[in-house]
């Protein structure tokens, strides 16, 4: 039986690296997309240590031309893509009042449009074959209006909606879509996403609340291999679901927000002090952000 060809975008670190290694170990022909093959030493070293092979293709999901060229190379070298894991993405902090439209578009171009570019490259052949899986890695921030992360919230909410629409559209063609919603996972994104662009000084407390959430999450962060295991399951299961929550805080955030009225969500935002906010957050979501 021929090994399935599976593309993992953003394979150089974090969830992408763990997923590429896990799928390769499960017998997939894994093609990891990276922006620079020359900087993929850690991925290649990890693959060698695990005695698996991860093929590399340079590709920048923010560029139409790069995505088209990268997927043309993939198909030429390995054949049609059976499974696509849209993992590559960036963070983005900022309150709505102080985030420029250009910044929104910059994050959306990567986190949403980058995935759409890749989907459009593989979907026609999947549709023709009547088989294939598209796995979209979003975030719990796609399910809640995370404070002081307006560009990231916008991109992940949009990605959630497009993924849900896509699953509905491609169902008649035998193509499956899975949405993976990680909570806090050990990743280099922590070091890259600590900016607090509080231009007016009016929102210092909001940034503090956001950083408190991630500081608590960092203490309890799940290993990226947990997400990789869920992605493998989503691809291989014969009882597929549309959405999968995984990693610290994911189930609590999704369930807690679903149980919270819109009015209570707004009321939580009115908390006058950090302690009042943290207590309200704990009551609503069952997560202790003081640790």
Positions annotated as catalytic residues are 152
CB atoms within 10 A of CB 217: 20
**Residue 82 DSSP symbol:** S
Round to whole Å and give the CA distance between 71 and 85. 13
26 neighbors 200 (Cβ within 8 angstroms): no
68 neighbors 120 (Cβ within 8 angstroms): no
Distances (CA, A) of 224 to 17, 183, 258: 8, 11, 26
Residue with tokens 């999968």: 244
CB atoms within 10 A of CB 204: 12
Round to whole Å and give the CA distance between 136 and 231. 9
What b/e sequence results for 141-176 when a residue is b if at least 16 CB atoms lie within 10 Å of its CB, and e otherwise? bbbbebbbbbbbbbbbbbbbebbeebbeebeeeebb
Q: What is the largest CA-CA distance in the chain?
A: 62
Round to whole Å and give the CA distance between 24 and 185. 21
């Amino acid at each position: 039986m021929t090994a399935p060809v599976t593309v993992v975008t953003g394979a150089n670190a974090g969830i992408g690296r763990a997923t590429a290694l896990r799928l390769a170990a499960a017998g997939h022909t894994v093609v990891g997309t990276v922006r620079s093959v020359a900087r993929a030493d850690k991925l290649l070293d990890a693959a060698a240590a695990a005695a698996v092979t991860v093929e590399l293709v340079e590709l920048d999901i923010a560029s139409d031309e790069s995505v088209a060229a990268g997927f043309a190379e993939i198909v030429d070298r390995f054949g049609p893509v059976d499974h696509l894991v849209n993992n590559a993405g960036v963070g983005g902090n900022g309150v709505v009042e102080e985030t420029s439209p250009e910044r929104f578009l910059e994050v959306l171009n990567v986190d949403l449009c980058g995935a759409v570019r890749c989907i459009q490259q593989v979907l026609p052949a999947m549709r023709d074959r009547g088989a294939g899986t598209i796995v979209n890695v979003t975030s719990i921030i796609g399910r809640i209006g995370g404070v002081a992360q307006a560009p990231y919230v916008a991109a992940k909410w949009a990605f959630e909606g497009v993924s849900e629409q896509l699953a509905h559209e491609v169902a008649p063609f035998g193509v499956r879509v899975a949405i993976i919603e990680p909570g806090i996972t050990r990743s280099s994104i922590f070091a890259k996403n600590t900016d607090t662009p509080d231009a007016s000084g009016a929102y210092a407390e909001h940034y503090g609340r956001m950083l408190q959430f991630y500081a608590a999450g960092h203490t309890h962060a799940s290993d990226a291999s947990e997400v990789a295991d869920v992605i493998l399951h989503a691809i291989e299961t014969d009882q597929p679901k549309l959405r999968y929550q995984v990693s610290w805080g994911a189930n609590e955030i999704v369930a807690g927000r679903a149980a919270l009225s819109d009015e209570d969500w707004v009321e939580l935002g009115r908390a006058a002090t950090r302690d009042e906010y943290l207590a309200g957050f704990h009551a609503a979501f069952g997560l202790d952000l003081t640790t």
